Structure 1
Amino acid sequence: MIVKSAVKAAAGDMSVGADFYEELNNVVGTAIARAQERAKANNRSTLKARDA
């Protein structure tokens, strides 16, 4: 789900461990799933900032 090159660029001069990408991907996936639940609960099919 995440783009490794974008994460590496955002990290600047810091090294990024392989396990960081996997965990970040999990965090993003969970955030999206929660946003979907919130939008559905509000009878919307569009995710909005307030769902995050």
Structure 2
Amino acid sequence: MKGAVKNLQKENEEVTSVAEEVGTALDVKVEEILENAIKRAKANGRRTLQARDL
């Protein structure tokens, strides 16, 4: 995640720095998204997580 944040920061000149807590918050959000996606896949009778579950 840190690499992705740094790349976005380099591409966006309007944001000159990113707080350390952004990485942690992103990790939490990604976990939430994946947990919900897994529930959706299970609800649809699938054992394979697909992009549409996100």
TM-score range (shorter-chain normalised) is 0.7 to 0.9
Provide the residue aligned with 2:2 in structure 1.
Answer: 4
Does 1:24 find its partner at 2:26?
A: yes
Structure 1 or 2, whichever has the larger Rg, is: 2
Structure 2 residue identity aligned to 1:11: Q
Structure 2: gaps of 5 or more residues: none
**TM-score, normalisation: structure 2:** 0.78
CA RMSD of aligned residues (A): 1.2
Identity of aligned residues (%): 40
Q: CA offset at residue 11 of structure 1?
A: 2.2
Report the Cα distance in structure 2 between the residues aligned to 1:24 and 1:18, rounded to whole angstroms. 11
Bigger relative contact order (CA 8 A; separation at least 6): 1
Q: State the number of aligned residues.
A: 50
Give the TM-score normalised by the residue count of structure 1: 0.80
State the Cα distance separating 1:43 from its structure 2 match.
1.1
Residues 1-52 of structure 1, C-alpha deviation per residue, up to 9 Å, x if partnerless? Answer: xx31222112224311111111011001100000000001111111112111
